[in-house]
Amino acid sequence: MDASGTDAVPVLQALGLAKRSESRWLLDHVDCSLWAGQRISLSGPSGSGKTLLLRSLVLLEPDVEGTLFWHGRPLEPDQVPQFRSRVIYLPQKPFLAPGSVWENLRLPLRFAAHRQRQLDRRRAEELFERLGRSPQWLDQDSSHLSGGEAQLVALVRALLLEPEVLLLDEPTAAMDPRSARAASELVFGWQQQDPRRCYLWVTHQRSLASAVGGEQWEMLSGRLNTQRSDYPAPASSAPPSSPEQVSQGDG
């Protein structure tokens, strides 16, 4: 720990991440580090490798070369389940099982890394209330949810697990502007509650990138530019200045 109480090494670091198709590099020897307290937005054209990078950072993408470090130490195979319980990846189209919203929030408890965890239903209700949903919404059948509502469920499910890193792949792309703004406020508030937390948020929107990211990274043809571009933290818990900045155009 340093004087601020945060780790003196990155929470998550990748060195030399590489994957090649027959004709080109999909990931071209990418190096990156996520530090405690960072809010990073990642932009770039479609097909540039943004999703591939996020999936590689949680070892979900096969045949990727390179090394991952977790709190300064190489990630060992037997650490992966615990690692994934602390570093959570949210895909743009999350998986929901048949059943209610509440049952879907409880899905991670089936895994050994979360088996001892108890979910607080009242806490879930509070999070959904901040997203404009009533407590009764937890009993909604998941098969009746829109794509944006499924993204809300996935976000709350991740936050209830209290991770230290969120890897967000266009998490508001299917939401209406009001829900998208509320979701961005929720993520920003989660990060501000603990100086050890950080997130990496993929978006195509320049306005959203500057709103949610204290730093902006860019992917282009499998290469990552991490040149620092700082933005002051918002005075409130709402980084975007208007709902339109987190509209459906996120995708």
Q: Which positions ≥6 away from 230 have C-beta within 8 Å?
A: 214, 215
What Rg, from alpha-carbon coordinates, does the chain have?
18
2 occurs within a structural domain: no
Q: Average pLDDT, whole number, for the chain?
A: 89
Q: What's the order of all strands across the beta sheet hosting 39-43?
A: 87-90, 165-169, 198-202, 39-43, 215-220, 223-225
Q: What SS3 state is found at 251?
A: coil
* DSSP letters spanning 30-61: EEEEE-TT-EEEEE--TTSSHHHHHHHHTT-S
Domain count, the chain: 1
The predicted model gives 171-176 an average pLDDT of 95
- The per-residue pLDDT for range 122-171, each reduced to its tens digit, is 999 999 999 999 999 999 999 999 999 999 999 999 999 999 999 999 99
- Going by pLDDT thresholds of 50, 70 and 90, the confidence category of residue 209 is confident
CB count within 10 Å of CB 144 equals 8
- The per-residue pLDDT for range 81-134, each reduced to its tens digit, is 999 999 999 999 999 999 999 999 999 998 888 888 889 999 999 999 999 999
- Going by pLDDT thresholds of 50, 70 and 90, the confidence category of residue 6 is low
68 occurs within a structural domain: yes
40 occurs within a structural domain: yes
Position 229 pLDDT exceeds 60: no
Percentage above 70 pLDDT, the chain: 88
79 occurs within a structural domain: yes
6 occurs within a structural domain: no
Position 172 pLDDT exceeds 80: yes
4 occurs within a structural domain: no
Single-letter code of the amino acid located at 149: E
- The per-residue pLDDT for range 59-85, each reduced to its tens digit, is 999 999 999 999 999 999 999 999 999
The predicted model gives 190-215 an average pLDDT of 91
CATH number at residue 190: 3.40.50.300
Burial 1-25 (b: 16+ CB within 10 A, else e): eeeeebbeebbbbbeebbbeeeeee
| Structural domain span for residue 23 | 12-250
